[in-house]
Copies of this chain bind each other. A is one copy, B any other.
């Protein structure tokens, strides 16, 4: 499970930490979920984010993968709820539209745009991490828009 913590201050968002939650390989589902919960709790304690943004999940043909993803997703929602975070979900199309201006763009198109939109220390080489940054960025853009709309009332 890829994650990214993005801070929005000043003109340009910045990635303050990102990576993949390490999960014991071959472990039982419960131990995998425990590793995810502990990692997310630690990240939330360390950075005190205000929101958690997730990809909206659609069921694919592989029921076993879908169930495993849904279980992990339940853990992320629980960690966020326990910490009192706002929770937002975006479809892959919303994320692509937000990052590239085109809801139909491919994964590489999204990854090429990221360095132009968000400050980061190193190039992102893992798809799951790039996805997490793109989702966080989508939320940062929406949140900023919401604030602007609220101020304009």
Residues of chain B lying within 8 A (CB to CB) of residue A75 = 74-75, 78
Cβ of A30 within 8 Å of any chain B Cβ, yes or no, is yes
Q: A28-B87, A87-B28 are in contact. Are A33 and B67 (CB under 8 A)?
A: no
What is the total number of residues of chain A having a CB less than 8 Å from a CB of chain B? 25
Cβ of A81 within 8 Å of any chain B Cβ, yes or no, is yes
Tell me whether chain A's interface is mostly helix, strand or loop, or mixed: helix
Tally of this chain's copies? 2
Interface 0/1 of A43-67, CB less than 8 Å to B: 0000000000000011100010011
Which of B29, B57, B81 makes the CB contact (< 8 A) with A67? B57
Residues of A within 8 A of B (CB): 28-31, 33-34, 37, 57-59, 63, 66-67, 70-75, 77-78, 80-82, 87
